[in-house]
């Protein structure tokens, strides 16, 4: 690509994340811009056309979606739908010859992640996950501490990602057929990823527990999950994720110091401190950084910071956690 080239992005599913985070971020991106939309709600199409000056020819419904193949203004399709729809719409985007960004969690299970990866490989298109923290400076700093052993070897990591859900009990996130699971499918990926980059490798084993205190509200999906990991380098880790508690933290204990982010996984600004003082970076939209990183990967072959394989890795861990819960702990008698 040339230095001033910008790739057109189509957002698929105009819910709260597209509306309040991605579309505004796409007004500031350097390597991509909002070029189209895909929505099942005609009124949203009209509002977005007016607000973002979109030509109706770049606006699609779920039925006309495949015609995006003929739309040269759109290079990247960003799937921002309920989890159960990620695989289908990511695969159809790849088959239309478009690069794909898929929101987290990548799919309902590992098999869906494999199908998305295969479709993108077959079509020869790039695949990225909506993992905004992979482009975020505090997170990069933690990775640097681990890589450079700034505080010595890491021994113990701990990460929590949770919020209290009190809304409509019929929302898709609480409906297993649309979400694939509860807190673990929603926020769990943040605590899993925090553990992984705080120790610098993928976990080897997991033991997990599920807690349910509001079964009348969480009829169908997990409410609170804790899990303990071991890692190949001897690090021990623990995580918590919940739809019934508030937590947002990453901590790493090292041989000669420690690091912490709190908050660690919201839209920012994040906040961090270490045994040798506080850390601070100027705030930028994480979504802007993430989408620019992906567009730059396509245009200039810079690293793909959140490839499909990372989405699949996280889903493998999610499945292992659910499996460990099923196997159960030992009763104390």
Name the residues that contact ligand NDP, by CB under 6 A: 13-18, 39-41, 44, 80-83, 103-104, 130, 132, 172, 178
Cα 32 to Cα 327: distance, rounded to the nearest angstrom: 46
Cα 164 to Cα 213: distance, rounded to the nearest angstrom: 12
Cα 100 to Cα 120: distance, rounded to the nearest angstrom: 8
Choice between 167 and 232, CB closer to ligand NDP: 167
Would you call 60 exposed, middle or buried from its count of C-beta atoms within 10 A (0-12, 13-18, 19+)?
buried
The answer to whether residues 182 and 322 touch, using CB atoms and an 8 Å cutoff, is no
Minimum distance, C-beta of residue 109 to ligand NDP, in the bound complex (Å)? 14
Minimum distance, C-beta of residue 118 to ligand NDP, in the bound complex (Å)? 20
Query: In sequence order, which residues have a C-beta less than 8 Å from that of residue 60 and are 6 or more positions away?
Result: 10, 36, 37, 38, 39, 67, 68
Would you put residue 149 in left (φ > 0), alpha (ψ -120 to 50) or beta? left
Minimum distance, C-beta of residue 41 to ligand NDP, in the bound complex (Å)? 4
Minimum distance, C-beta of residue 64 to ligand NDP, in the bound complex (Å)? 13
Cα 243 to Cα 225: distance, rounded to the nearest angstrom: 9
Choice between 88 and 273, CB closer to ligand NDP: 88
Choice between 6 and 44, CB closer to ligand NDP: 44
Choice between 2 and 168, CB closer to ligand NDP: 168
Minimum distance, C-beta of residue 132 to ligand NDP, in the bound complex (Å)? 5
Choice between 19 and 209, CB closer to ligand NDP: 19
Q: Is the dihedral of CA 252, 185, 306, 73 positive or negative?
A: negative
Minimum distance, C-beta of residue 30 to ligand NDP, in the bound complex (Å)? 20
Kindly provide the b/e burial profile for residues 160-190, where b requires at least 16 CB atoms within 10 angstroms of the residue's own CB. Answer: bbbbebeeeeeebbbbbebbbbbbbbbbbbb
Choice between 83 and 324, CB closer to ligand NDP: 83
Choice between 66 and 122, CB closer to ligand NDP: 66
Task: Provide the token pair at 47.
Answer: 């509002």
> Taking the CA atoms of the chain, what radius of gyration do you get in angstroms?
20
Minimum distance, C-beta of residue 15 to ligand NDP, in the bound complex (Å)? 2
| Nearest residue to ligand NDP, scored by beta-carbon proximity | 15
Choice between 84 and 228, CB closer to ligand NDP: 84
Strand runs labelled E in the chain: 7-12, 32-38, 59-60, 76-79, 99-102, 127-129, 154-164, 205-211, 224-230, 236-242, 244-254, 257-261, 272-274, 277-279
Minimum distance, C-beta of residue 101 to ligand NDP, in the bound complex (Å)? 10
């Amino acid at each position: 690509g040339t230095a001033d080239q910008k790739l057109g992005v189509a957002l698929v599913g105009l819910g709260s994340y597209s509306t309040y985070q991605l579309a505004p971020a796409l007004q500031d991106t350097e390597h991509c811009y909002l070029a189209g939309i895909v929505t099942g709600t005609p009124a949203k199409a009209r509002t977005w056309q007016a607000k973002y000056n979109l030509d109706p020819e770049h606006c699609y419904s779920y039925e006309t979606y495949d015609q995006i193949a003929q739309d040269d203004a759109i290079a990247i399709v960003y799937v921002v739908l309920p989890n159960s729809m990620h695989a289908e719409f990511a695969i159809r985007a790849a088959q239309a010859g478009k690069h794909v960004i898929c929101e987290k969690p990548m799919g309902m299970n590992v098999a869906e992640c494999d199908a998305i990866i295969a479709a993108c490989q077959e079509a020869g298109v790039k695949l990225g996950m909506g993992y905004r923290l992979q482009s975020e400076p505090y997170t990069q700093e933690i990775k640097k501490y681990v890589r450079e052993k700034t505080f010595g070897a890491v021994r113990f990591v701990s990460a929590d990602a949770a919020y209290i859900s009190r809304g409509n009990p019929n929302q898709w996130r609480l409906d297993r057929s649309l979400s694939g699971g509860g807190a673990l499918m929603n926020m769990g990926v943040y605590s899993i990823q925090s553990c992984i980059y705080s120790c610098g490798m993928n976990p080897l084993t997991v033991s997990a527990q599920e807690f349910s205190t509001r079964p009348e509200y969480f009829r169908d999906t997990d409410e609170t999950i804790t899990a303990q990991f071991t890692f190949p380098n001897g690090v021990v880790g623990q995580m918590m994720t919940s739809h019934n508690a508030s937590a947002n933290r990453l901590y790493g204990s090292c041989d000669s110091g420690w690091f912490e982010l709190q908050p660690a996984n919201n839209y920012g600004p994040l906040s961090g401190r270490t045994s040798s003082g506080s850390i601070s970076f100027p705030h930028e939209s994480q979504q802007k950084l993430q989408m620019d990183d992906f567009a730059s990967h396509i245009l200039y072959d810079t690293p793909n910071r959140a490839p499909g394989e990372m989405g699949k890795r996280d889903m493998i861990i999610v499945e292992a956690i659910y499996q460990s819960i099923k196997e159960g702990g030992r009763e104390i008698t």
